[in-house]
Structure 1
Amino acid sequence: MEKNNKATNGSRSVAGRAKDRIDSVDPYGFERSDDFDYESYEELMSEYLAVLTRRAIKWSKYLKGGAGVQRNVKLKRYVRKGIPNEHRALIWMVASGAQEQMEKYPGHYQSMLQAQHDGKLLETICTDLNRTFPDNVHFRKTSNPCMQKALHNVLLAYGHHNPAVGYCQGMNFIAGYLLIIAKDEEKSFWLMEALFSRILPDYYTPDMLGLKTDQEVLGELVKAKVPSVWQTMMEHDVMWTLVVSRWFICLYIDILPTETVLRIWDCLFYEGSKILFRVALTLIHHHQALIQEAKSLPDVCQAFKQITRGPFVEECHTFMEKIFNEPGSLSMATLTKLRVTCRDRLVAERS
């Protein structure tokens, strides 16, 4: 009996020691959940930190090389293997074209911020501020500085910059993540502009036609690459919008672990929207047996929630290697062709 108690106390103390070493708030300000597995996380990070250290040394040498940051095969390879957090804002800005735009239009952000504010736009943005990352310490009104003010400014400036769009669902989370990484309003604004204007056009518009199109495109890709899952979806009459809309509209924020999301965004800013499909296809392909077990529509929805959790997505370095291998080839030409077909179909259905 005494031996068992010692063993139990020992295991508790291991968990306790792990918790003591790991903050209850992650490096980005997000509070860890009550059921957060501190032991598993410590074990995972002990391996990942070695990877991060190696990458940081290589990035440091690359950036000190004197040639500047240029889009080429080497940079693409480096981006896929992960950008150290201290260099993320710089690489995102250059890779996405945001830096070029910011330099081309100096003072534009401030002029948009100081424009005559649209009352309805202002009201809509203010309504969503308190809903943005309530579990992040940086976005609480008690924080100093409080990122809510910066978030308000970025969203308002973008609303005036692109009045046809203004503000719509999902923008607050995107802008919030950009502020956490860039720690700068103007850079966050131009990164948003790059995402919404060039990388993901028509995603964040009143009719969200680009978003709806890409959900249909994913369905076509699953039909070709993972037909057993496509068959399951058809059998239970599940629309792709029901299970993947949040994946796309939030760019995997609050769907996958923060570190994994940031690794995805590294590639998104460099390679464009096809990364979103690679992630989705990897999740679906890797868990096709689980999805096929579904006996009803609720079962399918539950399976799609389940596949975004656990070690497979938490081990972000391994996961990112998987997304470039598991789904097979995926060219922009293929995506462009499917987008035309799916968009035409959606437009025809609406008319």
Structure 2
Amino acid sequence: MSDHCSSARSNDINAATSKTRSVFAKKFEVLFCGRVSVAHKKAPPALIDECIEKFSQLHGSGTADKEGSGEGLVGGLKRALAFQSNGLRNGSVGNGAAGSPTTGARPVLFKRDPSFPCLQALDENGLSPEISNSNTDDPVARSAQVQPTSLRENRTMLFTVGRSQIYLVSPDTKKVAIEKSFREISFCSQGIRHVDHFGFICRETVEGGNCHFVCYVFQCTDESLVDEIMLTLKQAFSVAALQQNAKTQSEQCDSCPMQHLHRLCERIEGRKLFLNSHAHEKNDQTICIYRFTILLITSSNYSSSISYIFFSLLIYGTECSLLCLNSTLTVCLSELGDACLDGGLMTVGQVVGGGGVDSSMRAVPEERKKRSKEELRELWRKAIIQQILLQRMERENQKLQDSASNLQNKRLKLDYEEITPCLKEVTLVWEKMLGTHGRAKVKFDSETIHAAVAQGVPRQHRGEIWKFLSEQYLLRQTVPSRPPSNHAPYKELLKQLTSQQHAILIDLGRTFPTHPYFQAQLGAGQLSLFNILKAYSLLDPEVGYCQGLSFIAGVLLLHMGEEDAFNMLKFLMYDVGLRKQYRPDMIILQIQMYQLSRLLHDYHRDLYSHLERQEIGPSLYATPWFLTAFASHFPLGFVARVFDMLFLQGSEVIFKVALSLLGSHKPLILQHESLESIVDFIKTTLPNLGLVQMEKTINQVCEMDVSKQLQAYEVEYHVLQDELLETPPTLNQHQRAAQLERTNQSLRQQNLDLLEELQVSHARVCSLEGQVEALTQSEGRLKEQVSSLEEEKRLLASTILHLQGLLTRLGIHSAPDGDTAAPQLEAKEALDDRTVDSPPQPLLLPKSL
């Protein structure tokens, strides 16, 4: 029952979070360093630096990693027993876990997550625990006071500032890890020596209604990002305070006697009570009488003041008419008295009467029966068995939930219309190829693969087929491509912070905004997409992140898992060569625009002339086609087919698709006579293709071959650029210097490209030399075999001559026509005579036999 309640509560929180984030949210990527229990809501200036030093000490000693790794069931039971026996009797605050239940109507403040440690023990001197208890010899006690996050875990978070709350979303677990309202946060600070760190102090409520203050510490990529976060927090707090003050002033009643209680509570705790009261006119003779429910009252230090207030309220209220009796006030004070520690509660009668209350009204603590050792042992045995069963049930429930979530996500991902239905026979062909043992090293027939891709790709196997096509592409490449300089695995890249976070976070909401998998703000789809783009920006610092990459990664993510999508993105960028068009200088993209223009000139001359008359170049409409592989404007089913061909044939597919689309819509484009109408038609009407037209386009792409023309056009572009540079300009010195600088930069980039081509050519030469050496060795072996066969032939010829001589001596002659019957008969008679007249003699054969 508790699991269902907690699940429902977490769903409500996630719904509220999504609603708030959809209205207003500003997101930053931070590294969660850890949390520290502090004794006061205000902190000294050097608190952040002290926390970081303690975190470093604990990481150096290995205590934090040991705590983060856990101790299994026995460790959990020991911690539970230690909390029950030492939690309140020693004067320390109970476990400040994130998932601790709250009292009254307070919402859940922090969702339990195993990757975030919890703290205990407040300092009574008003100092941070690392100062007052820095000399303790117990490592467990030190780790309980200051707990950093484990270095082995992914500690990156998306720090989201909303209208009235702060959320920390974990891209790794796809859950809200921390949720704090502005009312609970009392202090924000930036590090002095560690300027790239910041933190905030907030109030947390634990079991029994106790409250303590916890400082959360975070790290950013640089100081400028910390300044931006602090400025954002300041603005958000100011706006929230103004809105709350305006709302409170409009609802408060100046003549309401609750203002006395309001001021009293403000003096006691330094916090305000937000009263749900009614506004009345000053001339009105009536006021409000409130119905109070007092749950927790502090010890007798404040009982007389509170009694006075309530006594005044009761007397004052009897003289006035009843106007409203609907408000209920629940006062929960943070400091508990001795009566609360003993398990008793003070009633309203005790508060009004002060100390002289009848003993019959006091709460009597329950007498505890002392248990024997056998009973305690039996209870422990039952507790252990129940704990084991509970953990097993939780694991099974988690597996079922993960399975249902994966199926739901898969249905959401593949929610698009297929343009080329895959027949059952073709599906069987794909399944046979995918099921081949050791397929990564088996080179399949190219014609078979081309025919299968042309006939269709089953949607449920498309991700696996893309991986298969990438393996075949690499097997066909004789020269390997240049690998990335950073060889860190995907999981390690996710643990780092990226400097491209702003551009990535902005584009998350722009990538497939109508697709259900990516619609939710910071949902599973957007968080997975953020992980992929962030990891690639760290893998390839030269490119980092460029607009358009999010659509490429999004299409991959819809058909495979997160890590597989990252590997396929790396394959497309490095092996297929898409990364060249995302370089900061965009020179390759300019070459591609020139190549497309020349293809239009060769294949569709009238359309090319029409666009030239309106001064419409390919850069006005085709740039997003190349940067997103048609994913930003075209239907997802069509884009999936384009990716099928992209994995099969390489980057030239984009030219083929663009040329086929423009050619098939040439009559409609020629009807438009203005630049605006033509560009609008190509950008808006052209993507809304019918299924028949889409399939026709893909079939044309399968039959086209423009690779030689693309190479010729690239050389032509460089020649034209050289001619333009050699033309004597009529510019002043400053303009000439700027042009020379641009020329120098272009030449430098060309030198880098030529160096890369030289490396590829050198690798090809090495490969060819290896093949020549192998062929030479094979030729030598063949020559040896030929010489041995010739020697054998010579020996056989010599043997034949000896045999012929022997036959001649025996009187056996071989006629040319093959008639040997008579000589053989004569030889037989001669042999018979020799057998009768002389003793048998051994027949001597030549030594060569």
TM class, shorter-length: 0.7 to 0.9
1:95 pairs with one of 469, 477, 493: 469
Give yes or no for contact 1:99–1:190 (8 Å, CA) kept in 2. no
- 1:56 and 2:427 aligned: yes
What is the SS of the residue equivalent to 2:558? Answer: helix
Tell me which residue corresponds to 1:342: 717
Larger radius of gyration: 2
Shift, 1:294, TM fit: 2.1
2:494 pairs with one of 113, 116, 119: 113
What is the SS of the residue equivalent to 2:592? Answer: helix
Letter in 2 for 1:134: P
Describe the shift of the 1:314–1:171 C-alpha distance in structure 2 as closer, same or farther (beyond 3 A).
farther
Q: With CA pairs under 8 Å and 6+ residues apart, which has the higher RCO, 1 or 2? A: 1
- 1:284 and 2:638 aligned: no
Distance in 2 of aligned mates of 1:214 and 1:139: 30
Q: State which drifts further: 152-161 or 89-98.
A: 89-98
RMSD of the alignment, in Å? 3.2
Tell me which residue corresponds to 2:398: none
Question: Deviation digits for residues 84-107 of structure 1, max 9, x if unmatched?
Answer: 1232222222323599999xx996
Tell me which residue corresponds to 1:324: 702
Question: Deviation digits for residues 6-33 of structure 1, max 9, x if unmatched?
Answer: xxxxxxxxxxxxxxxxxxxx9655889x
Question: Deviation digits for residues 66-100 of structure 1, max 9, x if unmatched?
Answer: 57363522112212322212322222223235999
Give yes or no for contact 1:259–1:316 (8 Å, CA) kept in 2. no
Give yes or no for contact 2:414–2:559 (8 Å, CA) kept in 1. no
Distance in 2 of aligned mates of 1:48 and 1:96: 21
Tell me which residue corresponds to 2:520: 141
What is the SS of the residue equivalent to 2:582? Answer: coil
Shift, 1:331, TM fit: 3.5
Question: Deviation digits for residues 136-163 of structure 1, max 9, x if unmatched?
Answer: 22123368x6111111111111001000
Give yes or no for contact 1:196–1:203 (8 Å, CA) kept in 2. no
Tell me which residue corresponds to 1:127: 506
Structure 2, unmatched stretches of 5+, are: 1-409, 476-480, 726-741, 744-849
Describe the shift of the 1:346–1:124 C-alpha distance in structure 2 as closer, same or farther (beyond 3 A).
farther
1:178 pairs with one of 537, 548, 556: 556
1:151 pairs with one of 529, 533, 536: 529
Shift, 1:223, TM fit: 0.1
Describe the shift of the 1:28–1:168 C-alpha distance in structure 2 as closer, same or farther (beyond 3 A).
same
Describe the shift of the 1:251–1:48 C-alpha distance in structure 2 as closer, same or farther (beyond 3 A).
closer
What is the SS of the residue equivalent to 1:110? Answer: helix
Tell me which residue corresponds to 1:18: none
**What fraction of aligned residue pairs are identical, expressed as a percent?**
26
Tell me which residue corresponds to 2:448: 74
Tell me which residue corresponds to 1:194: 571
Give yes or no for contact 1:263–1:316 (8 Å, CA) kept in 2. no
Describe the shift of the 1:255–1:196 C-alpha distance in structure 2 as closer, same or farther (beyond 3 A).
same
Give yes or no for contact 1:222–1:230 (8 Å, CA) kept in 2. yes
What is the SS of the residue equivalent to 1:291? Answer: helix
Distance in 2 of aligned mates of 1:290 and 1:223: 18
Letter in 2 for 1:339: E
Structure 1, unmatched stretches of 5+, are: 1-25, 33-40
Describe the shift of the 1:31–1:188 C-alpha distance in structure 2 as closer, same or farther (beyond 3 A).
closer
Describe the shift of the 1:340–1:81 C-alpha distance in structure 2 as closer, same or farther (beyond 3 A).
farther
Tell me which residue corresponds to 1:308: 687
Distance in 2 of aligned mates of 1:294 and 1:346: 32
Question: Deviation digits for residues 38-87 of structure 1, max 9, x if unmatched?
Answer: xxx8xxx7x954x4434213322333455736352211221232221232
Question: Deviation digits for residues 266-307 of structure 1, max 9, x if unmatched?
Answer: 110111011111111111111212222221111221332323
TM-score (norm 1): 0.76
Distance in 1 of aligned mates of 2:641 and 2:582: 22
Describe the shift of the 1:167–1:201 C-alpha distance in structure 2 as closer, same or farther (beyond 3 A).
closer
Give yes or no for contact 1:93–1:191 (8 Å, CA) kept in 2. yes
Give yes or no for contact 2:553–2:565 (8 Å, CA) kept in 1. yes
Give yes or no for contact 1:96–1:269 (8 Å, CA) kept in 2. yes
Count of residue pairs brought into register by the alignment: 304
- 1:205 and 2:583 aligned: yes
Of Structure 1 and Structure 2, the greater strand share is in 2
Question: Deviation digits for residues 309-343 of structure 1, max 9, x if unmatched?
Answer: 232x5654443213334xxx424222122123235
2:540 pairs with one of 162, 174, 182: 162
**Match runs of 1:3-82 below 5 Å:** 29=413, 49=421, 51-64=422-435, 66=437, 68=439, 70-71=443-444, 72-82=446-456
What is the SS of the residue equivalent to 1:203? Answer: helix
